[in-house]
Structure 1
Amino acid sequence: MIQGTHSDAGKSALVTALCRIFVQDGYKTAPFKSQNMSLNSYITTCGKEIGRAQGVQAEAAGIEATTDMNPILIKPSGEFQSQIVVHGKPYKNMKAGEYRKDFYQKGLRIIEESYERLSDQYDRVVIEGAGSPAEINLNDRELVNMRVANIAKAPVILVGDIEKGGVFASLVGTLQLLEPEDKKRVIGVIINKFRGDVSLLQPGLTWFENYTGIPILGVIPFIENLMIEAEDSVVLSNYSTKVDSSKEIDIAVIRYPMISNFTDIDPFFEEVDCSVRFVKKGEELGEPDLLILPGSKNTIEDMMFLHNTGLANRILQLEQKKTTIIGICGGYQMLGNHIEDKDGVESLKKEIEGLSLLPMKTSMTPYKLTVQSTGVAQFGDEKIPVSGYEIHMGESHLEAGYKHFVQLADREEGAISQDKRIIGTYFHGIFHNDVFRELLVNELRLKKGLAPILDRASFSKKKEEGFDLLANVVREHIHLEKMHQLMTDFQNKQRKESYGK
């Protein structure tokens, strides 16, 4: 099990790396995270919703993702409330106190059953914790750290992020706050995101091992431009808010409070001519070549955010200047005339006016559509095969005669203006389709009088290369044989103690 001193210490990336490494070494491997709090989700082939990180880790392991890999997903929706997703389907909207009090025993059973099924099917299960195991105010009823390690009888590796500073204090502090039995599970420590000469760190490594008696299993360097999807919005603070003037195409992404599935934007980071930035204020928006309104877990409240920050007016000004604007899922709903939520599915506010850039009305419904989809997108004269996934609780109705964006096998989806400048779709992953992305970006280049760039790189290929790069770097910088031995020793000790009882 991989646990961390805090959120964004690198747990998800390390689990991804170990999944890849173990598979490369011949072990049938699966990821597991008992409870994930994230607005970035992943749709399995059977149409179930799990945390995006576990879906990506399954891809790294070369297996199909299932809900057993993340049986409980918590999706914050505002007002101190979250949607609880159990085995890929909405269970209930709950406040934090209600969840801790009323859901704990049920959650524990769900987690135990899911882990048992995985452990029966796979040689190795790489478990990911959440936040820190030293959250002393939560530990009496936690469902994701040491309690899961105990269920799985798993050794724990603790990860610290040195880039933020204070890594030895955070590691030692975490260890000191653990219960004695939990501390015995920690077989080693990994320091993550190191920049510089590791020899200068050696005195600290020696001191740590002498002080704690726990070995340092590796120091992983910071990996520039690593193509691994982020788990949740905590990483957005690392993203740029300014234009990279060295790149010809400026792409602005609205960062509203309840942004979800922002990994839709990832392929643009890999384009040599695209500068991507996230904006939260009207004055930050500038005049981008492409404006993207991403997904939202609470469309009405995020629409209110657009009005309150002045972003709504700035978006309308950009539309008057013929800027290309694309809305995905919740962002698509905001492009319409009106959004209503009479049953309070997402918001306490019943309705709100949208941006009126598409002739459309959206109504929130209790039913949640979660499905992987394939179809044909109509982009001007081009018909492009596309694949992606849908995950939404609203139904949007266009005025008769307006052009749909994607033709699916059983229905029409999305909307596109005649001049291709305004596009709305429920299709997450639309930019991951290489042909569509190439046509879109080259269209933006032509509008600026720039020559198109042909034969752009495949994003799926870059993603696979990212898995291999991550695995290779981690393999090179951790003591893998020592880790194997410590894992074996721990398991043998567990068996002896079990036999003794």
Structure 2
Amino acid sequence: MKKLARTIMLQGTASDVGKSIITTALCRIFYQDGYKVAPYKSQNMSLNSYVTLDGKEIGRAQGMQADACYTAATTDMNPILLKPKQDMVSQVVVHGKPYKDLDARNYREQYLQTAENIVKDSLFSLRKKYDLITIEGAGSPAEVNLKDRDIVNMRLAKWAEAPVILIADIDRGGVFASIVGTLEILTPEERKRVKGFIINKFRGDISLLQPGVDWLENKTEIPVLGVIPYLHHLGLEDEDGASLDMKIKSTQKLENQLDVMVIKLPRISNFTDFDPLLKEPDVHLRYIEHIDEWDAPDMVIIPGSKNTLQDLLFLRETGIEEKLIEYVKQGGFLLGICAGYQMMGEKLLDPHYFESDVSELNGMGLFPTETTFIQDKRTERVEGTTLLYSSDVNDQLYFKHSDAIQIEGYEIHMGTTQFLQPVQHAFQIRLAGNQEHSFHNDGVVSDDGKVIGTYIHGILDNDIFRRNWLNNIRVHKGWIEFKETISYRNKREEAFDRLADHVRLNLNMEKVYQMIEEGIE
């Protein structure tokens, strides 16, 4: 019988201290060092999700970590995903499929015992299949009001027989207080599990920090395994809204860059859809929340949302919807993905209140479509083709009826869209990897090719489509086409290696391996 895999766990003194990124780095390092490794996070709260090969939904971070160690992501790597829908209410996704919407109190009091068994089973399943499991905690292990039913931090570490590395973010200040304070709240048994610290996001002269490191090690008798310098322009997907807030503080637009503007909806989801645009040298990507930030965009994107009707009301109440409609009338370029696509239709219907507490709402009226929200959630990877865009810019329609572009992506939505009159569809798609499935139409494109709606998340990951789309906008502005096609997949692989090299250089990997070998003894 195969011995169960060894484990190591990354916990943090708070949220957004870098647990996901350090876990990703270790997944790539362990893979490079010859281990068959898998990531694991028992419960994740995120609106950025990842669709597995079998059409299940998990946290985006765990999908990224699986990619980093070249293993196929499964729901065992994130058996419970919480997707916030409104204040204090989340959709609970269990093994990749929606279970029900629960508020925080009911989830804690009614479901956590069931959840405990689910996360234990998934962890055991992974430990039977792999050599090493890299476990990511959530938030902080020192939340005294949550510890008795914890399934994500110290109780999980005990079930996993995992030594713990505690990560603290020096960039936010108070790093030594946050580490010592966390240890003070832990029980003696929990403190014994903490075998090392990582001080993350350091900027400055390491010699000036050394006295503090020495003090911390003397006080706690626990080693600082590494001080990780802040890594600029990492180039990997973000976990949650905290990181998106940094993107809103956009850089200055350069000459000859396209101004691509994303509407930051209150319940925005899967904003990683737009990360490939950050790799394009002729694109300036920015996010806006207020109409006075509009300025003069070359392209506007309406992203996905976890509450489509409420976010449409947000656009209506803030005046952004009216601005969008006028922008399209004046010949502007608009892309709507998933919820954004749904909002662009004639009507949205939610008679059973699956999406929100609004039963019916008029859409923007940009497409002759009607979307009804149903209980079943469509989650699947798709592949297909598109006839968008022609290199012949003299054509009124920007279609090319030969050499169709191959595309792939994934769908995550609860709405079904009906066409009220014939339309020009943007894509022809089928279930990925299954040639027995026939193609079906997805999305709508306007007659002039400037306005597109689609259900396909990840559509901008497709290099040729993305470049043709951007060049179409450039030509309309009277600019020359940008000839280089950037490989987003290659850039992402380079980012994984750059991250792993950075962490390996600044982390005592010999001690990390020693921790793993010794376990919690």
Please state how far the C-alpha of 1:317 moved relative to its aligned partner: 2.2
Residue 366 of structure 1 is aligned with which of 369, 372, 375? 375
The answer (yes or no) to whether the contact 2:48–2:60 under 8 Å persists in 1 is yes
TM-score, normalised on structure 2? 0.93
Alignment of 1:97-496 (within 5 A): 97-242=105-250, 244-247=252-255, 248-379=257-388, 380-382=398-400, 383-408=404-429, 409-491=438-520, 493=521
Q: Determine helix, strand or coil for the equivalent of 1:239.
A: helix
The CA deviation at 1:313 is 1.5
Which of 94, 103, 110 is the equivalent residue of 1:95?
Answer: 103
Between the aligned partners of 1:170 and 1:277, the Cα distance in structure 2 is 33
Displacement, 1:246?
A: 1.1
Distance across 1 between alignment mates of 2:309 and 2:88: 16
Shift of 1:79: 4.5
- Contact kept, 8 Å, 1:241 with 1:279, in 2: the verdict is no
1:20 — aligned with what?
A: 28
Q: Is the 8 A contact 1:243 1:250 kept in 2?
A: no
Gaps of 5+ in 2: 1-8, 389-397, 430-437
RMSD of aligned alpha carbons: 1.2
- Post-superposition Cα deviations, 1:363-413, rounded to whole Å, max 9, x if no partner, equal 101010000000112312233110000010001112322111111233111
Question: Helix, strand or coil for the counterpart of 1:393?
Answer: strand
- Give the aligned residue type for 1:406: F
| Contact 1:187/1:487, CA 8 A, preserved across alignment | no
The amino acid across from 2:81 in the alignment is: L
Do 1:335 and 1:357's aligned partners in 2 also have CA atoms closer than 8 Å?
A: yes
Q: Which deviates more, 100-109 or 445-454?
A: 445-454
Asked whether the 8 Å contact 1:2–1:127 carries over to 2, the reply is: yes
Distance 1:417 1:241, change over 3 A: farther
Write the deviation string for residues 290-326 of structure 1: whole angstroms up to 9, x where unpaired.
1011110110010011112221112122112211000
**How far is 1:242 from its partner?**
4.9
Cα distance between partner residues in 1 of 2:472 and 2:56 = 35
Contact in 1 for aligned 2:42/2:78 (Cα 8 Å): yes
Q: 1:115-138: CA deviations, max 9, x gaps?
A: 001001111000000111111111
Residues in 2 aligned to 1:185 and 1:377: alpha-carbon distance in whole angstroms = 53
Ranges in structure 1 where 5+ consecutive residues have no aligned partner? 494-501
Report how far residue 257 of structure 1 moved. Answer: 1.1
The one-letter code matched in structure 1 to 2:421 is: A
**Deviation for aligned residue 1:164:** 1.4
Deviation at 1:243, TM superposition (A): 6.4
Task: List per-residue Cα deviations over 1:71-90 (Å, max 9, x = no partner).
Answer: 00011111421111110111
Q: Which amino acid aligns with 1:385?
A: Q
Equivalent AA in structure 2 for residue 264 of structure 1: D
The residue type paired with residue 298 of structure 1 is: N
**For the residues of structure 2 that align with 1:219 and 1:271, how far apart are their CA atoms?**
32
Q: Verify: 1:84 aligned to 2:92, yes or no.
A: yes
CA contact (8 A) 1:253 1:277 kept: yes
C-alpha distance in structure 2 between counterparts of 1:238 and 1:167, whole Å: 21
1:186-231 CA-to-partner distances (Å, cap 9, x unmatched) read: 0000011111221111111111111111110001111111111111
Supply the distance in 2 between the matched residues of 1:318 and 1:46 (Cα, whole angstroms): 40
Give the letter aligned to residue 369 of structure 1: R
